[in-house]
Amino acid sequence: MRVVVFQGQYGLFKKEGLDLSMPAIQTCLGLYAVSEQHDYLLCAHFDSDIGLQQNLREIKNTLEAKNINMSSLKATVFGGDGKQSYVRCSPPSSHIGNDIVSFIKAQGGSAEYSNEYYSGVIPKTFNFHYQKGCGISEGQNPKDFSGASQQAMNLAKQRMRLRPAEYSLAHAKMVDVSRLY
């Protein structure tokens, strides 16, 4: 099954036969988490700290609906820019990654954060991909976007009309795209 998770979206997908990409377009952070007890992959593509705790609770509820506890997860949060972003006249977003890790750990899960894939004076985009294993690559490739649900793509286009700094609480609400695939 081909899946593309755009910014402001998350989903829980069965790993068997999954071909997933999560390409970054703007300053974003990615989350992927696997459970040794379940055959699911959780992916989330954050682009704002507005409503972050509510979005994390929604993701937790999605997991619990499939009888998956956050305590069974091993999560990796990546992306976001570090202190070098001040050179670009924008505040760092790495605190979002640290807040996500703190939330998961507070639920008993295992999580780590690295801003390796989106930092420095010149921003570098990332693409998380899953196909029989997890990987992260830099740069954009048109095939990372291929096979996306048209509805998921339209939701992403609407979201990207604004910069994350311009979001209201309603704009910042993340969408579960699991049902679209």
DSSP-H helix ranges across 27-168: 52-65, 94-106, 150-159
Q: What is the largest CA-CA distance in the chain?
A: 45
- CATH architecture entry for 2-180: 2-Layer Sandwich (3.30)
pTM for the whole structure: 0.87
pLDDT in tens, 120-169: 445 566 678 888 888 887 766 778 888 999 999 999 999 888 877 788 99
CA distance 131 to 151: 23
Tokens of residue 40, six digits: 């699911």
Phi, psi of 98 (to 5 degrees): -65, -35
Tell me what pLDDT residue 89 has.
52
CA distance 9 to 84: 27
AA identity, residue 59: I
For 9-21, what is the mean pLDDT? 94
Domain limits, the chain: 2-180
Do residues 22 and 5 make contact, with C-beta atoms less than 8 angstroms apart?
yes
